[in-house]
């Protein structure tokens, strides 16, 4: 059991789900503290039947804290994480800042839980679009190896934070009313639209969001030879990222065998019956922690190919749930019971 856990970013969309998960999963801790910038300090936030007051995040705030779970922008993580580690805490960080640091494990508990043993005070949780994809890829990679992945994402507006969903609503209303809409969060109006750009230009015409999927997948699966060709698209859906994935395996595998592997895997629910129009959709996966897989089929254009559709709640498994699961690994492996 942890004596003291701190949550940084409790007032955000992901932070509130972390709070719900800590309470629902009966996370082993004696005390919970909420930390934030001066703008949010003093805010009252509900935790179960309690109301907790958000405290100012400063170096002294981490004294006596065993574990920090954080959902903040990259620049905030870069500032506070050294404070927390210096104070003796372990940080589970959801920002992108530490993910590709070679000294920082990047963990999805269903995929590489053993990596938690290599931490030096910081553990990173992957990008939401990467997380659901590697949960789906891992059983295939373990069974027959993966050579190449082609993925197109259909990413919800909540991936851009609370402001993303506010803009989805205002943009949709403007379209319905025949009014112009000036976007602030996205590059173009998102109402009744698709935007094939998430992040800035990064490498050879690929965006930062797309390159995260390349590098994070290789790091989590422990195989830099896996080739990933991603296209990331923002869609007018509030919650739930969807992905169309084509995997080229190193050894042949049938669609039936792939389905069998997914049905046996932790954290995966298979919903796959085309005749009954049964397959994962964002509205059905909202509020659920699993990764959902359907439309499983052989690639008819090449050998050793499996195509499938993958959906997950990006605020839960894509962010909050994964971070809490990492914290649960730490609770089991790293800290003895207090007192």
Chain segment 92-150, per-residue pLDDT in tens: 999 999 999 999 999 999 999 999 999 999 999 999 999 999 999 999 999 999 999 99
What is the three-class DSSP state of 308? strand
**Residue 142 CB partners (closer than 8 Å, separation 6+):** none
Phi, then psi, of 54 in degrees rounded to 5: -70, 130
How high does pLDDT run on average in the chain? 96
What one-character DSSP code corresponds to residue 17?
Answer: H
pLDDT value of position 338: 37
Instruction: Note the pLDDT of residue 144.
Output: 98
Span 22-75, pLDDT tens digits: 999 999 999 999 999 888 999 999 999 999 999 999 999 999 999 999 999 999
Reference 135, options 290, 257, 12; nearest CA is 290
| Euclidean distance between CA atoms 269 and 287, whole angstroms | 14
Percentage of the chain beyond pLDDT 70 is 98
Cβ atoms within 10 Å, residue 311? 27
Work out the average pLDDT over 167-175.
Answer: 98
pLDDT band (50, 70, 90) for residue 307: very high
The angle that helices 13-24 and 321-333 make with each other, rounded to 10 degrees, is 40
**Would you call 128 a catalytic residue per the annotation?**
yes
Known binding residues for phosphate:
99
Question: What is the set of domains in the chain, with CATH numbers?
Answer: 2-125+320-334 (3.40.50.720), 130-156+194-312 (3.30.360.10)
Sign of CA dihedral 137, 312, 278, 232: negative
Give the residue numbers of the binding site for substrate. 155, 234
Phi, psi of 40 (to 5 degrees): -105, -10
So what's the pLDDT on residue 334? 54
Q: Mean per-residue pLDDT for 331-337?
A: 64
Residue with tokens 């996370």: 27
- The catalytic residue among 119, 141, 181, 241 is 241
From 4, 128, 285, 310, active-site residue? 128
According to the model, what pLDDT value does residue 333 have? 76
Say whether 310 is catalytic: no
User: How far is Cα 151 from Cα 133, in angstroms, rounded to an integer?
Assistant: 9
pLDDT value of position 213: 98
Q: What contacts 166, CB < 8 A, 6 or more positions away?
A: 185
> What is the rounded CA–CA span in Å between residue 135 and residue 270?
13
């Amino acid at each position: 059991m942890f004596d003291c856990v701190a949550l940084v970013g409790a007032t955000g969309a992901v932070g509130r789900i972390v709070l719900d998960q800590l309470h629902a999963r009966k996370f082993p801790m004696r005390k919970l503290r909420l930390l934030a910038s001066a703008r949010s300090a003093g805010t009252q936030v509900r935790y179960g039947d309690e109301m907790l007051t958000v405290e100012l995040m400063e170096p002294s705030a981490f004294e006596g804290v065993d574990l920090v779970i954080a959902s903040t922008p990259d620049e905030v993580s870069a500032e506070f994480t050294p404070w927390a580690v210096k104070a003796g805490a372990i940080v589970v960080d959801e920002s992108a800042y530490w993910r590709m640091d070679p000294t920082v494990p990047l963990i999805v508990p269903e995929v590489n839980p053993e990596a938690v043993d290599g931490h030096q005070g910081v553990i990173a949780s992957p990008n939401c679009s990467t997380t659901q994809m590697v949960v789906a890829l891992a059983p295939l990679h373990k069974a027959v190896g993966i050579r190449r992945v082609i993925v197109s994402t259909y990413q919800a507006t909540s991936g851009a934070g609370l402001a993303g969903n506010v803009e989805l609503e205002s943009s949709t209303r403007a379209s319905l009313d025949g009014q112009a809409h000036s976007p602030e969060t996205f590059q173009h109006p998102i109402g009744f639209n698709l935007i094939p750009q998430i992040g800035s230009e990064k490498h050879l015409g690929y965006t930062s969001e797309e390159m995260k999927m390349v590098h994070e997948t290789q790091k989590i699966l422990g195989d830099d030879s896996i080739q990933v060709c991603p296209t990331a698209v923002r869609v007018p859906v509030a919650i739930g990222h969807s992905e169309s994935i084509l995997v080229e395996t190193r050894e042949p595998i049938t669609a039936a065998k792939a389905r069998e592997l997914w049905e046996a895997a932790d954290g995966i629910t298979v919903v796959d019956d085309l005749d009954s129009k049964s397959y994962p959709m964002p509205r059905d996966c909202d509020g659920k922690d699993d990764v959902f897989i359907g439309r499983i089929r052989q690639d008819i254009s090449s050998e050793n190919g499996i195509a499938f559709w993958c959906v997950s709640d990006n605020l839960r498994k894509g962010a909050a749930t994964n971070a809490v699961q990492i914290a649960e690994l730490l609770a089991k492996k790293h800290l003895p019971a207090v007192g």
